[in-house]
Amino acid sequence: MTDSKVHSNIIFSQQIDVELRKIVQKYPAGKVFLLTDQTAAGFCLPLIQSVIDEFSIRMVAIPSGEENKNIQSVGLVWDFLSNYGADRKSLLINIGGGMLTDLGGFAASTFKRGLDFVNIPTTLLAQVDASLGGKTGFNFNGLKNEIGVFMEPNSVIINVNFLKTIDQANFLSGYAEMLKHGLIKSREHWDELLTFDMESIDYDALQEIIAHSVAVKEWHVLNDLTEQNIRKALNFGHTVGHAFESYAMKTGRPILHGHAVVYGMIAELYLSAKQCGLGIDELNSISSWMIARYGKFEIQESDFEALYQLMTHDKKNEGKRINFTLIPEIGKVEINVDCSKELIIEALNYYKSCGLRDSSSEL
Ligand SMILES: O=C(O)C(=O)C[C@@H](O)[C@H](O)[C@H](O)COP(=O)(O)O
């Protein structure tokens, strides 16, 4: 990518205590707070314990997991900030995965109409996507990120060492958003992701490809923070993906966000072939590659209507139109593509048949 710009407040560092100290010392004594979740607390806090002690930072932990990305957890954070006298000159440090940085960013952005926050993402998904770009929020009424505001973090500190302890499923979940970045913006990035050795990870090489992915995300954010236009590209795979994710949660078979996005991308690649000229061989080979690594969330025809209804709540929709971001070829996007219900059902059928079909067969 030649046209990539990255915010200067995104810091890659394996010494997060040093970077965090530089930030924290700019805030008044007693006005720095820390939010984490029960999973991140155990293995992440030791890395910044010296800063926590030096500045007497107060901490709160919310329950982990997507099912806790709700108004009750936001309330816990607001209570904590209120009880300990946070004001507009305060700082909230969010340390954890994507659920935590989304929710903590929202709590900080709305408490007393907004205080500063810093994200320290500890999962691959949060490092390449969720902690960046200022989409904050929580789930509501069974819909993903239904309530939220755009508010950018003051800084994001990315430490690749956190990824040494995440499990394979969570690694793949984050990798899905990187694959998306390749598909929407850069064939070069896509190619390096396909050849990266996920079995025996070289962490220096990983940091490099994370930086490429972050550059794709940031290019879109810098050009369109509030998603009026080109930022919609970053939502590729999410119209169907969020429907899968919400439906999976509702029916008691939860799946990780990135896996849902991969399944959504397969359906939306099908739409791309039908609506914008993506090659059929490309569609079939990408889908097979993805299914081989991510498996499948099995669906039946009887699930299609519920999935379609969930898509009608997508934030990119206008009026009765379900608007998709599609890709005519790897590295290019078309935004605001209106697809009919019949075609969306066909795409779900294509996804349903993946793994069963011969990858060279006609559509
Ligand atoms: O940053 C964006 O813009 C994205 O769409 C990135 C997505 O990968 C991300 O999951 C986002 O949270 C989805 O946002 P939503 O607006 O569809 O809730």
Q: What is the pLDDT of residues 146-162, one digit of tens each?
A: 999 999 999 999 999 99
Mean pLDDT computed over 337-352: 97
Mean pLDDT computed over 261-273: 98
**Do residues 339 and 257 share a domain?**
yes
CATH number at residue 176: 1.20.1090.10
**Do residues 249 and 314 share a domain?**
yes
304-311 and 238-250 helices, crossing angle to 10°: 120
DSSP state of 149: E
Tens of pLDDT, residue by residue over 289-314, are 999 999 999 999 999 999 999 999 99
Whether 238 is in the pocket of ligand 1, judged by its Cβ within 6 Å, is: yes
Query: Residue 323: is its pLDDT beyond 50?
Result: yes
Band (pLDDT 50/70/90 cuts) for residue 358 is low
Cβ-contact 184, 325 below 8 angstroms: yes
**Do residues 41 and 179 share a domain?**
no
The last residue of a domain, from among 130, 165, 200: 165
Structure tokens at 297: 């969330």
Q: Is 267 helix (H, G, I), strand (E, B) or coil?
A: helix
Angle (CA) 352-263-256 rounded to 5° is: 125
Ligand 1 atom closest to 102 (CA): 12
Query: Residue 5: is its pLDDT beyond 70?
Result: no
CATH number at residue 139: 3.40.50.1970
* Predicted pLDDT at 2: 36
**Do residues 223 and 307 share a domain?**
yes
Mean pLDDT computed over 265-280: 98
What DSSP line would sit under 259-327, residue for residue? HHHHHHHHHHHHHHHHHH---HHHHHHHHHHHHHHH------GGGHHHHHHHHTT-TT-BTTB-EEEE-
Cα gap 142→282, rounded to integer Å:
34
Go through the chain and tell me how many residues it has: 363
Mean pLDDT computed over 115-129: 98
**Would you say residue 264 lies in a domain?**
yes
Query: Residue 357: is its pLDDT beyond 90?
Result: no
Q: By residue range, what is the domain housing residue 222?
A: 168-353
Amino acid, res. 247: Y
What's the mean per-residue pLDDT of the chain? 94
Ligand 1 atom closest to 231 (CA): 3
**Do residues 181 and 109 share a domain?**
no
Cβ-contact 80, 55 below 8 angstroms: no
* Predicted pLDDT at 362: 52
**Do residues 186 and 111 share a domain?**
no
CA-nearest residue for atom 5, ligand 1, is 235
The number of C-alpha atoms within 13 Å of 40 and in the hemisphere containing its C-beta is 31
**Do residues 190 and 134 share a domain?**
no
pTM value is: 0.94
Mean pLDDT computed over 343-347: 98
The last residue of a domain, from among 165, 184, 205: 165
**Do residues 14 and 36 share a domain?**
yes
Amino acid, res. 279: G
Q: Please, what sign has the CA dihedral across residues 309, 355, 280, 183?
A: positive
> Ligand 1, from 119, 136, 235: best to mutate by most atoms within 8 Å of Cβ?
235
Mean pLDDT computed over 186-201: 96
Domain count for the chain: 2
- Ligand 1 centroid – CA 334 distance (Å): 17
Ligand 1 atom closest to 177 (CA): 8
> Ligand 1, from 135, 181, 224: best to mutate by most atoms within 8 Å of Cβ?
135
